[in-house]
């Protein structure tokens, strides 16, 4: 069985749209406080440009873990 993890960061833009940034293979265990600080820094420094607008607020983050098994 193969396992895969991604960290999905969720933000709100100045156009009131939701934007997601996905990080492949995050360090496990994920430190929620470090993630929040990094997300807030991304908003403050305005380091990403999106067609949906400028980041204005971090909404949350999800750790998504997927297990894949061969069935035959």
pLDDT of residue 72: 80
DSSP E strands, 1-72: 2-13, 18-24, 55-68
Q: What tens digit of pLDDT does each residue of 30-70 get?
A: 999 999 999 999 999 999 999 999 999 999 999 999 999 98
Q: Which residue did the predictor score with more confidence, 55 or 72? A: 55
Please, which residues have CB within 8 angstroms of residue 58's CB and are 6 or more apart in sequence?
9, 10, 11, 36, 39, 40, 42, 43
The domain spans of the chain are 2-68
Whole-model pTM? 0.89
Query: Rounded CA gap, 66 and 68, in Å?
Result: 7
C-alpha 50/C-alpha 1 separation (Å) is 36
pLDDT of residue 40: 98
Q: What is the DSSP letter of 39?
A: H
Residues 7-32 pLDDT 10s: 999 999 999 999 999 999 999 999 99
């Amino acid at each position: 069985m193969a396992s895969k993890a991604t960290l999905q960061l969720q933000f709100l833009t100045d156009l009131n749209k939701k934007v997601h940034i996905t990080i492949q293979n995050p360090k496990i265990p994920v430190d929620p406080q470090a993630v929040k600080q990094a997300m807030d820094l991304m908003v403050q420094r305005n380091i990403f440009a999106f067609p949906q607008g400028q980041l204005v607020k971090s909404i949350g983050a999800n750790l998504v873990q997927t297990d894949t098994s061969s069935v035959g």
